[in-house]
Amino acid sequence: MDHLEFNKHTSNTYNEELEDIRNMLLNMGGMVEKQVQKAIQSLLQGNAKLAKKVIKKDLGINAMEVKIDEECTQIIAKRQPAASDLRLIIAVIKSITDLERIGDEAEKIAKSALYLITEEYSGEYFVEFEKLGNLVIKNLTMALNALARLDAEEALKVAKNDDLVDSEFEKLNNEIITYMSANPVELQKAVRLSWSSKALEKIGDHTKNICEYVIYLVKGKDVRHIDIETIKEEYF
Amino acid sequence: MDHLEFNKHTSNTYNEELEDIRNMLLNMGGMVEKQVQKAIQSLLQGNAKLAKKVIKKDLGINAMEVKIDEECTQIIAKRQPAASDLRLIIAVIKSITDLERIGDEAEKIAKSALYLITEEYSGEYFVEFEKLGNLVIKNLTMALNALARLDAEEALKVAKNDDLVDSEFEKLNNEIITYMSANPVELQKAVRLSWSSKALEKIGDHTKNICEYVIYLVKGKDVRHIDIETIKEEYF
């Protein structure tokens, strides 16, 4: 396993600063992960209180993004980082944008949950939605672990998993659309469930982006927009 | 009008490097703008050839993002930029992510266009879709102008316009859903039009993000996640 060491500077303060932004990033990741879990839970269990909590908490995540960005900019200005330190900072700046947007998607799911609760949706396709949700959360957790341990191979594995998320989403969404055709009374509610599934798929995309930044961070190569199936030989 | 000057370094090469990334950013912006225009056009005119062109061109935009990111990282490593130069580079790194994702949304619209052409959609709500599209393109053009001229006031104006995009999208989407209920035969196709409207709304969000980076670049303050209506007094 490739592993990068960042604590190599003669300045202890600099080491601490770099460690700080890594910790802040991982904290933010943990918060976002919980938001996604709770949003899905609120929808499946019809828990309006939980959904409202998720919506409120999103403000805190937004604030974290701004704070981490500021820290990164200050370190660049003050420390003039090079090589792997600079890659760490660029990877952090990029990753937090995706984390913040995963937070936004969780908020959207929580809002749909509130709608479905109010409109008393029948719960059709909740089982399949939960299955997709579990898959997305599993990938997100693995991506955050890969980020914490700077494990490029794990990150590549997770990035490749995104194809399964996409195909499961397509399947579920087609089923929901068929259901809408057959049950016009449920149509408006089923649309909301379709949106929530789309939000899960989007979370999968952002998770994949984070994996690509981990690979960039560890390997120093940019793997974005390259077909992830073909890069194994070239990069590892 | 606030205006930043970047060409103040004793090193001409450094000046050229900064000017280069600004030009690359503006080029990428122009390309993305055209992609959105063409994607909307392909849907409204049922032009499959144009839609396929948009899908193919998206690869070039992805490649541009990676290239500009690399340039920015190299300048940071080599030139150790501070103050406004560093803000420029951070703003570029952030903006190109949004530009790339606007490109992705344009590609989605083009894909929906292909579907609607194949399935021979009736064209219901195309007029309203075009109206929303024009609004979104107008804002995107204004945002790119504000970026080119580093005009924070213009950027703030455009960012505020996004509320109108959101409300127009909500209105259109509700109408499409009502139409779906009444016309089950057109349902699957109307879903695709709804997705395309959602893509326009997303482009609006990314446009707003770009405006916020322009304000950050010119004013040196981070305005993300602050209610845009309340910031006028504080920042200007």
A62-65 contact pairs (CB < 8 A, 24+): A62/A100, A62/A103, A62/B224, A62/B225, A63/B225, A64/A24, A64/A27, A64/A28, A64/A31, A64/A96, A64/A100, A65/A28, A65/A96, A65/A97, A65/A99, A65/A100, A65/B224, A65/B225
Type and span of the H or E element at A139: helix A126-148
Contacts of B59 in chain A (CB under 8 A): 225
DSSP string for residues in B61-119: HHHHHHHHHHHHHHHHHHH---HHHHHHHHHHHHHHHHHHHHHHHHHHHHHHHHHHHHT
The three-point CA angle A177-B103-B201 to 5° equals: 55
Give the closest residue to A28 by CA, choosing from A62, A56, A3, A2: A62
Chain A residues touching B95 at Cβ < 8 A: none
Taking an 8 Å cut-off on Cβ atoms, the answer to whether B62 and A225 are in contact is yes
pLDDT recorded at residue A5: 57
| Cβ neighbours of A188 in B, within 8 Å | 177, 181
Q: Mind listing the pLDDT tens digit for each residue in B125-150?
A: 999 999 999 999 999 999 999 998 88
The interaxial angle of helices A126-148 and A187-219, nearest 10 deg, is: 20
DSSP secondary structure code for residue A150 in this structure: T
Percent above pLDDT 70 for chain B: 92
- Any idea where the domains of chain B sit in the sequence? 12-235
Task: Read off the pLDDT of each residue in B104-109 and give the average, rounded to a whole number.
Answer: 96
Q: Which of B67, B39, B27 is nearest to B147 (CA)?
A: B27
Give residue B1's pLDDT. Answer: 44
Buried b (16+ CB within 10 A) or exposed e, B164-175: ebeebbeebbeb
Q: How far apart are CA A25 and CA A28, in angstroms?
A: 5
The distance of A159 to chain B (nearest Cα, Å) reads: 17
Predicted TM-score (pTM) of this structure: 0.87
CB-nearest to B225 from A62, A70, A86 is: A62
Q: Residue A14: its pLDDT value, please?
A: 86
Write out pLDDT tens, residues A38-65.
999 999 999 999 999 999 999 999 999 9
Token pair, residue A219, equals 């390997």
- Inform me whether the pLDDT recorded for B194 exceeds 80: yes
pLDDT of B27 higher than 80:
yes
Interface residues of chain B, partner chain A, Cβ below 8 Å: 59, 62-63, 65-66, 69-70, 73, 76-77, 80-83, 86-87, 90, 93-94, 97, 177, 180-181, 184, 187-188, 191, 194, 222, 224-225
Round to whole Å and give the CA distance between A220 and A4.
Answer: 11
Does residue B205 carry a pLDDT above 50?
A: yes
Residue in A86, A87, A184 closest to B184 by CB: A184
Contact A80/B83, CB-based, under 8 Å? no
- Pairwise CA distance, residues A115 & A55, whole Å: 13
Which band of pLDDT confidence, cut at 50, 70 and 90, is reported for residue B14?
Answer: confident
Coil vs helix vs strand at A81 = coil
Give pLDDT tens digits for A58-89: 999 999 998 999 899 899 988 888 778 888 89
Put simply, the answer to whether B222 touches A66 (Cβ < 8 Å) is: yes
User: Is it the case that residue A33 has pLDDT exceeding 70?
Assistant: yes
Average pLDDT score, chain B: 90
Tell me the nearest-neighbour CA distance from A82 into chain B, angstroms. 5
Q: Is B7 left (phi over 0), alpha (psi -120 to 50) or beta?
A: beta
Q: Under a CB-based contact definition with an 8 Å cutoff, are residues B113 and B179 in contact?
A: no
Question: pLDDT, tens digit, for every residue of A187-222?
Answer: 989 999 999 999 999 999 999 999 999 998 888 766
Identify whether the C-beta of residue A54 lies closer than 8 Å to the C-beta of residue A161. Answer: no
Summarize pLDDT for B37-51 with one digit per residue, the tens. 999 999 999 999 999
Q: Report pLDDT for A81.
A: 86
Per the CB < 8 Å rule, is B225 touching A59?
yes
ipTM: 0.80
Between A221 and A181, the more confident residue is: A181
pLDDT of residue B9: 75
Determine which of B62, B224, B226, B227 to mutate to test the interface with A (most A C-beta atoms within 10 Å): B224
Q: Given a cut of 90, is residue A184 above it in pLDDT?
A: no
For B189, the closest chain A residue by CA position comes to: A177
Q: Is the Cβ pair A66, B191 closer than 8 Å?
A: no
Q: Report the alpha-carbon distance of residue A131 to residue A76 in Å, rounded.
A: 42
pLDDT in tens, A117-130: 999 999 999 999 99
Give the pLDDT band of residue A34 (cuts 50, 70, 90). Answer: very high
- Class for the domain spanning B12-235: mainly alpha
CB contact under 8 Å between B222 and A76, yes or no, is no
Nearest chain A Cα distance for residue B112, angstroms: 14
Within 13 Å and on the Cβ side, how many CA atoms surround B91?
Answer: 30
Which residues of chain B neighbour A65 with C-beta distances below 8 Å?
224-225
Residue range B206-232, pLDDT digits in tens:
999 999 999 988 887 667 777 766 665
Cβ of A87 within 8 Å of Cβ of B66? The answer is no
First to last CA, chain B: 10
